[in-house]
Amino acid sequence: MNKNPKISVLTPIFNTNPEYLKQMIESILNQSFKDFEFILLNDSPENTEIEAIVKNYDDERIKYYKNEQNTGISASRNKLLHLAKGEYIAIFDHDDISMPLRLEKQAEYLDKHPQTGVVGCNYKTIYSNKTTNFPCNNSDIKKELVIMGLVIVHSGSMIRKSVLIENNIFWEKEYSPCEDYMLWARLIDKTVFHNLEEVLLLYRDSKNNTTNLQAEKMADCTERIKNFLHKEYPYYRNLCSKNSYIYLFGLPFIKKQCRGNTVKYFLFGIIPFLKEVK
């Protein structure tokens, strides 16, 4: 009987740039940790070029599937999850690059911390070479998720599969293209989060990725999720909020928001116009 792999790396692909696809695949095949399956799901079934690229890799850990028709990112992610046999789920997008020690370090952390269900990392943007650092402990991550937004990089995260399955939590189409943010929102009171304090992902911030192509939709979706979080988790919101106001004619004219070493100013309490770092 075949032993199930420790990790399932899950990657939906959709009309992926061929060179980016190769770099992405090879970054997983070259991982220091070897006990994984690499499941790729093609959500652009008419694209025979990317199918040929995937099938050109002679590695038994690669498992290739193709949707009969385009289903969208959330449905594809859920299909990948149900195909996975690993104890841990490594989320990985189709044009990013995982550093060689990524799987090893994240699996090692989950092994040593059974109460933790999600482990992320810091990342570096490929074109700008800018590093993004996130809070690492559970409490700070949850506070930031509620108040500020994403502080777990989805493409560089590893999740204990049982946490998703036992809580019936999946990616939700109605929150796409912010399905990752809503996933973390659903998990806030279900598990412990952690970010490793090192860069384990190279993120490709190109003009053709979802963040840029659907910027307006993402902004609207983010606000909907934040409204949900503020209502669902008032404890974290109250814990984080350190606001003061300047009034004009008895009305709040400028809101000053202090968070850590950052101060932000908002006209009428909602329009950002100034940011200071102490």
Predicted confidence band of residue 255 (pLDDT cuts 50, 70, 90): confident
pLDDT, one tens digit per residue, over 72-116 is 999 999 999 999 999 999 999 999 999 999 999 999 999 999 999
**Mean pLDDT calculated for residue range 2-10:** 92
Q: What does the alpha-carbon distance between residue 218 and residue 64 come to, in Å, rounded to a whole number? A: 29
Q: Per-residue pLDDT for 257 more than 80?
A: no
How is residue 48 written in tokens? 């025979």
What percent of the chain is modeled with pLDDT above 90? 71
What's residue 265's pLDDT?
78
| pLDDT at residue 135 is higher than 90 | yes
Report cis status (omega within 30 of 0) of the bond before 177. Answer: yes
Q: What is the pLDDT of residue 245?
A: 63
Whether the predicted pLDDT of 117 surpasses 90: yes
List pLDDT tens digits, range 15-60. 999 999 999 999 999 999 999 999 999 999 999 999 999 999 999 9
Mean pLDDT of the chain: 90
Label residue 143 exposed, middle or buried (CB < 10 Å: 0-12, 13-18, 19+): buried
Instruction: Kindly state the DSSP code that residue 171 receives in the 8-state scheme.
Output: -
Q: Is residue 210 predicted with pLDDT exceeding 70? A: no
How many whole angstroms separate alpha carbon 80 and alpha carbon 186?
Answer: 19
Spatial contact of 98 and 201, defined as CB atoms under 8 Å apart: yes
Please report the pLDDT score of residue 31 as a whole number: 98
pLDDT tier at 2, thresholds 50, 70, 90 = low
Return the pLDDT at 97: 98
Q: Residue 209: its pLDDT value, please?
A: 59
Per residue in 153-189, pLDDT tens? 999 999 999 999 999 999 999 999 999 999 999 999 9
pLDDT > 70 in the chain, percent: 88
Q: Does residue 239 register a pLDDT over 70?
A: no
Closest-CA residue to 24 (of 60, 58, 50, 48): 50
pLDDT of residue 67: 97
What DSSP element (H or E) covers 245? strand 243-248
pLDDT above 90 for 212: no
CA angle 197, 198, 203 (to 5 degrees): 120
What pTM value is reported for the model? 0.83
Please compute the mean of the pLDDT values over residues 197-204 and round it to a whole number: 97
